[in-house]
Each structure stands twice: as C-alpha cells, then as structure tokens.
Structure 1
Amino acid sequence: MTAQPIHPHGPERVPRNAEGIAATLTGERRMEFYRELLAAAPEEAEGVLRRWWCEAMLDTDPAGDRITAAALDGTLPTTTVADLLRRRREAGLPVE
C-alpha cells in the first residue's frame, strides 16, 4: 500500500529564489522586497527570502482571502507547538 499526500505536491506557485518571489510581487511590495534583500547582511538574506516567499505564497493562494478573513475573525483553526511537534515525531519528521 502506498500513502498519498493530503496536499498534492506539484510545482510550487512561487519558486524559492529572489527572481521567483519578485515575479509574484507587484509595485511597491516588489520594491520593498528588493530594498530589504539588498540591505540585508549575508547571514540575514536567507531570512528575508524565507519571509517574502511566505508572503508571495499567501498572495497567490487561491484560498488566501478566506484564510485571511478567518484569521481576522478569530475563526482560523490553530494548534499548539507541542501538538505540532508530537505529530511530526509520530510521522517520523524532523523537529529541529
């Protein structure tokens, strides 16, 4: 028996690099991204890319408006870090 992922893995909507992130952002947000990335020290650049990749993924999420509304309304399902770590351990996933 094979396991199927809950969320199918296809090509990511936003490539995990500066070019992919910038292509998704528009106008002032793209300029803000470039300003932050160019001002970042080398050891901070990865964090800047990771944060803006998350922003770009949220911007392109087909359910993004629904998720944002649920977060603002306080109805977005949440979990504790302890539960998340337990589930990852049970699944054999890293928890570092």
Structure 2
Amino acid sequence: MTAQPIHPHEPEQRVPRNADGIAAALDGPRRMEFYRELLAAAPEEAGGVLRHWWCEAMLDTDPNGDLLVAAAIDGTLPITSVADAVRRRREAGLPVE
C-alpha cells in the first residue's frame, strides 16, 4: 500500500500569481507600468489588475510567444467564443467576471 497526498502536487507556474512574481517576469518599463496601475487601483480593483498583468507576464514569458504573435497577425490564431470560454472556466471552477 502506498500513501497518496491529499492534494496532488501541481507543477509550478512559469509566473507566480502574485505581485512579486508578476513584476519579476516583466521588463523594466512594463514592470513600472504594472506597479503604477496596481498602486493606483482601489482595493476592489486590485484583483483585476493582478489578473490582467499576470496574463501579460505569462505571454511575455511564453517560449512560443513569438509564434502566438505571428499567428495573431496572420489571422491564423485559433479563436473561441466568450460563451465557450466562460463555460470552460466555470467547469474548471475558475472565477468568471
């Protein structure tokens, strides 16, 4: 018999979902823009600012980022509807704003 963890270990994300992780992933000018937006945000807006900039940081650090940009410019980037995206997020137990 083997012991299994209650919460399975998930691989670490490329960019931690916190202000320090996001800032570390952004270059100088974008890091300053992130901090300006975060510091200017009202408490109820801070979560949205963090989510927006986490997405930016994930794109900036994506090893295939150049391919995504090229596909977007070429019009070959796969697309989905907002309804499908909301449904997938709800099924995954993620927040929907």
Alignment TM-score, normalising by the size of structure 1: 0.77
Off by >6 Å, runs of 4+ in structure 1: none
**Which residue of the partner structure matches residue 56 of structure 2?**
55
Q: Alpha carbons of 1:76 and 1:10: their partners in 2 closer, same or farther (altered >3 Å)? A: same
Alignment TM-score, normalising by the size of structure 2: 0.76
Q: Percent identity?
A: 71
* Equivalent position amino acid for 2:42 in 1: A
SS state at 2:78 partner: coil
**Which residue of the partner structure matches residue 24 of structure 2?**
23
Question: Where do 5+ consecutive residues of structure 2 fail to align?
Answer: 1-9
**Structure-to-structure mapping, 1:30-69, within 5 angstroms:** 30-69=31-70
- Aligned CA-pair RMSD: 2.1
Q: Alpha carbons of 1:93 and 1:52: their partners in 2 closer, same or farther (altered >3 Å)? A: closer
Task: Provide the C-alpha distance between the structure 1 equivalents of 2:67 and 2:15, rounded to a whole number of angstroms.
Answer: 20
Task: Return the offset for 1:72.
Answer: 1.2
Question: Where do 5+ consecutive residues of structure 1 fail to align?
Answer: 1-8
